Structures are given as C-alpha cells and as structure tokens.
Amino acid sequence: MSKTNFITSLKEETQRLAALGVAKSPEIVISKYDLSPSHSPQAVISDKQYILFNSNDYLGLRFHPQLIAAEHDGSQIYGTGPGAVRFISGTLQIHKQLELAIANYHGFPEAIVFSSAFAANFSTISALAKGQSQDSLVSSDTLVISDQLNHRSIVDGIRVSTLPSENRQIYRHLDYAHLAEILTQNLGKFPRVMVISDGVFSMLGEIVDLLKLREICDLYDSQYPQGVLLYIDDAHGIGVIGETGRGTQEYTHSRADVLVGTFGKAFGCDGGYVAGGLEIITYLREAASGYIYSNNLSPGTASAALAAVNLVSGPEGVKLLTSLKSNIALFKKLLQSSPVRFAAVTSHAIQPLLIGDPQQAQKFKNQLFDEGILVTAINYPVVPKGQDEIRIQISASHTSSDLEKLTALVIKYFPK
C-alpha cells in the first residue's frame, strides 16, 4: 500500500502542474524539418510547418553539410560510441583534437570535454570546491559565491559539493557590490573562494559584466590564502557575442580562470567543455565525476563539434555571426515603438518578453503556435513567480520575412 501512496503523490504533483498551466509535457514532437533553402529550417509538427524561435542553434549550424559529413566520418572511423569512459579505453584521437581546438579557440592552455555542459558544471564545481577523496590534498573548505540566477547545472554542482551552508553564498543577480560585500565579510574565514556566474543568463539574455567581476576577484585574490578563482559558464555567449563570437570574454575584453562552454548551442552539436590552465584541467581529469564515471562524447558528435569549431573560426563563421547580429538588430527595430514589454534589454539572441502570469504566457505561446511560430513560455521555478516570460531566440538562419512575421504576430497577440 505504501508504494501506491508514493506513486500517487507523483501523479498528484504532475496533475497540479498541469492545472497551473506550467507542465512541460506533453512535449511538442517534431517529425522532421523542411530544409528548403528559401527559408530557415522549419519544424514539421503533425504535418504543419513552424518557424523555430526557440532553438539554441544560434548560427544555424545543425544542418550544415560539413558537420553532418564530419559526424558520419567520426562514426566510420571510431564507431558510434566511445565504448568506455575516458580513462579506460574511451579516449579517442578525435577527443584530443577537439580539446586542442577548443583550448586554442579560447586562448587557454588546456580544455577537457564532457558529455554535456550540465555534466561539466555539475562535476567541475564539486571537484574544484572540495577534494574528491578523504586523502585528497585539495582543501574541502571553499567559499562558493554564486549569482542568484545562475543556471540549474551550477546550482546542482554546488549542491552536490555538500558544503556546509556558510560555504555557499548567493549574491543578488548582477549586484557586484553585494558580491564584494560577501567577500569582505568572509575575510579570514575561508582559505579560498570560487566566484561563479553565467556569462549570458539563459532566461534573460543579460550579459555579465566580466570586467567588473574580474576586477573584484583580483582585488580579493591576495586577501584569501589560496586566492579567488573566477568561474564563468558561457554556454549561451560562445558563438554569439564578441567581435568574432568568442563569447563574454571577448565581448567584455576580460578573462575567466575557468570557462565552461557547450557544443549544444551555437556549435549546433552536443556536449560540453571546460577550458582553463593546465593544472586545473589536469586535476579535473583526476577528480571530475562526470568525466571519470560517464562516457564522453560519441565520436561522431566529437567529430561534428570539431568541424563546428573550425567553421566558426573561419570566414564562414564571421559571415554567420554577421547575419545573426543583423537579425537581432532587425528584431529589436521591428518592436522598437510597440507596446511590447521586455523582461530584460539585451543585444544577445535571447529576447525575453515579459508576461508576468503563467496562464497568459501559455495562451500567448499557443496563439503564436496556431500561427506557425514556436516560442517558449518560461514559468516558475525556472524564473521567479510573476516573471513569466516568452523567450524568443534568434538565429543567423532566420530570414527577414521570418522576423517580420514573428514581430507582427507578437504585436497582435501581446497581452494588453
């Protein structure tokens, strides 16, 4: 009987979410894509076509023939899976090539790849915050200070570190004075500190002031015996912002000590990585649980990701980035004098429309869906209550008529 009650409580929870209009299922199922060159890749759902304004494929690389060919070649050479974790027999030449390419791309000495950026954050944060065995030489007494709106994979990485509550502090979103205050209050209490922030906040598209964060971390670095490490997750920034698309570091002309990225957004593939100094990355190969106890990228994906890094580093990458930037500018211009409210003002490809109510957000999303447009309604707990939003994501592959259609419908249906 008790097991039945357990399961009933799960059912009641999913019913509660459905009744609130915030359930994530049933998911929309895309049966195929229409890849006609006259428009952006369009999703086919129940035989109807939809323009995607909720994809992380910011440069439109997912369907690029070079990436698809590279994926095929990777599988031909190495098989469809790595066969084992990295330290057993799962380290393939393609992994090493990809790590070298990503380190060079960001100008760091080393990089390590993971099956996802979620796995990268989850295991890297805990490995850096705390020694991973009882006889580890790494201190387990780290003060971790995290932006209030950091991504869930960061939150979970901190949680899994099982640090005492005084070692885990949160500064108000983008409030650097609050961060400095926490650093001052904790002087003499901890040997070392790790400050963690998203580079671009995934729900709002806001770009962190990395220059300011760097300045604060450097100021306090000598005041803690083992210093202050700056950790940036730039999953949405890389490929999208900065003069050549190298992300928040390039955009702000500043540097992180540890940089997390994903191949699953602007690079159009799958997988995540950490770039940094040699000692940091070498340590992660010994201590990051998601690297040691889980398969790495499949060879086809690693090969496609390498093709993506090479492509975005070259002239075609520059062209795609230019198209993305001009599409973002066009979107903003088309809504400039409309009554549409934004949850944040940003030059990033993430454009959040502020709705403020879960049912209205759902209704608005459904109205756009009926008109052939896919956007995402974002509700609590992903955003705070009352901050329900419609997240629009712009891609280099959108045409001006895609953007004109979207903005006309946004103006027509935006809740008054």
Ligand X SMILES: Cc1ncc(COP(=O)(O)O)c(C=O)c1O
Q: Which is nearer to ligand X, 235 or 361 (CB)?
A: 235
Instruction: Return the residue matching tokens 């962190």.
Output: 208
Q: Which is nearer to ligand X, 198 or 388 (CB)?
A: 198
- Hey, what are 17's tokens? 């979410």
Q: How far is the CB of 251 from ligand X (least distance, A)?
A: 15
Interface of this chain with ligand X, residues 180 to 199, rule: CB under 6 A: 198
Instruction: Name the helix (H) or strand (E) containing 89.
Output: none
Site for ligand X contains 153 (CB under 6 A): yes
Q: Which is nearer to ligand X, 28 or 408 (CB)?
A: 28
Tabulate helix, strand, coil % of the chain (nearest 5): 45, 15, 40
Taking the C-alpha atoms of residue 37 and residue 411, their distance in angstroms, rounded to an integer, is 28
Site for ligand X contains 205 (CB under 6 A): no
Q: How far is the CB of 262 from ligand X (least distance, A)?
A: 4
One character per residue 267-306, x = contact with ligand X (rule: CB under 6 A):
-----x----------------------------------
Question: CA-CA distances (angstroms) from residue 159 to 126, 169, 191?
Answer: 8, 12, 20
Buried b (16+ CB within 10 A) or exposed e, 75-84: beebeeebee
Taking the C-alpha atoms of residue 192 and residue 189, their distance in angstroms, rounded to an integer, is 9
Interface of this chain with ligand X, residues 54 to 73, rule: CB under 6 A: none
Site for ligand X contains 157 (CB under 6 A): no
Degrees, nearest 5: CA angle 263-208-302: 10
Taking the C-alpha atoms of residue 362 and residue 379, their distance in angstroms, rounded to an integer, is 9
One character per residue 325-364, x = contact with ligand X (rule: CB under 6 A):
----------------------------------------
Site for ligand X contains 393 (CB under 6 A): no
Site for ligand X contains 126 (CB under 6 A): no
Stretch that binds ligand X, among 74-82, 113-121, 390-398, 406-414 (CB under 6 A): 113-121
Residue 387's SS3 state is coil
Stretch that binds ligand X, among 105-113, 117-125, 240-248, 338-346 (CB under 6 A): 117-125
| Catalytic positions | 202, 236, 265
380 Cα distance to chain centroid: 18
What's the start-to-end Cα distance of the chain, in Å? 50
One character per residue 227-266, x = contact with ligand X (rule: CB under 6 A):
------x-xx-------------------------x-x--
Q: Which is nearer to ligand X, 343 or 403 (CB)?
A: 343
User: Can you spell out the DSSP letters for 158-191?
Assistant: HHHTT--GGGEEEEPTT-HHHHHHHHHHTTTT-S
Beta strands in 234-367 (DSSP E): 258-262, 272-276, 350-354
Chain contacts with ligand X (rule: CB under 6 A):
116-118, 121, 151, 153, 198, 202, 233, 235-236, 262, 264, 272
